[in-house]
């Protein structure tokens, strides 16, 4: 997942909402923004909003490791639960993009603890736990995500892939049927369902 979700947070420096980002490494405008925000953070190190803005710019440049560090530093400056949950979520996104699955799962878990009704926290935790090979915990997280919002296709596909890896082919078949109900033109569940039926028959 490359999306940057921080819907309720506004940066004091930028004055706008942080929305989903496109990662375009090497963009000169992004580099100038990073340099400017680094100066702002150096001048006012205790303002978490500026660290979030810098992390955002670093993500746009593909510098996920440095963005993670800014978010971790920001965690020490925040007390409000909804802000902490958003920072933990975005930390999970950064760790996931570095394939640091244990760190990503831990960040998503903290986000889910603080904001238990957030679909994407449970989804991210489930995907990360799957990558770590912890199938049982991943199933719990992904099922919780789908309990919160059963219409999101990403969750059904992630759960289908997890079931296949765990050898639960009938359960995977059911998730593929869900996906086809949500989007009859989706090629992946149709092909996967055909493969599963060959294995089951």
Domain boundaries, the chain: 6-149
Encode pLDDT of 12-45 as tens digits. 333 333 335 677 788 899 999 999 999 999 999 9
Q: What is the pTM of this model?
A: 0.86
Q: How far is CA 85 from the centre of its chain?
A: 12
Encode pLDDT of 76-111 as tens digits. 999 899 899 999 999 999 999 999 999 999 999 999
Of all residues in the chain, the percent with pLDDT exceeding 70 is: 90
- In terms of C-beta density within 10 A (0-12 exposed, 13-18 middle, 19 or more buried), how is residue 136 classed? exposed
Q: Which CATH class is domain 6-149?
A: mainly alpha
Nearest to 125 by CA among 117, 114, 140: 140
The phi and psi torsions of 177 (rounded to 5 degrees) equal -65, -40
């Amino acid at each position: 997942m490359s999306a940057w979700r921080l819907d309720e947070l506004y940066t004091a420096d930028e004055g706008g909402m942080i929305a989903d980002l496109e990662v375009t490494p090497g963009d000169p405008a992004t580099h100038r923004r990073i340099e400017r925000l680094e100066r702002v953070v150096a001048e006012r190190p205790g303002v978490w909003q500026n660290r979030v803005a810098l992390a955002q710019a670093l993500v746009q440049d593909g510098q996920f490791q440095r963005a993670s560090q800014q978010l971790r530093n920001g965690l020490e400056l925040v007390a409000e639960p909804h802000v902490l949950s958003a920072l933990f979520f975005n930390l999970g996104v950064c760790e996931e993009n570095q394939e640091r699955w244990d760190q990503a799962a831990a960040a998503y878990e903290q986000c889910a603890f603080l904001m238990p009704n957030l679909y994407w926290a449970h989804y991210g935790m489930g995907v990360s736990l799957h990558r770590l090979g912890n199938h049982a915990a991943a199933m719990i997280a992904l099922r919780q995500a789908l309990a919160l919002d059963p219409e999101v296709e990403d969750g059904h596909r992630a759960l289908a892939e997890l079931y296949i890896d765990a050898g639960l082919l009938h359960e995977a078949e059911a998730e593929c049927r869900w996906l086809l109900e949500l989007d009859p033109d989706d090629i992946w569940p149709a092909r996967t369902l055909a493969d599963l039926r060959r294995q089951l028959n």
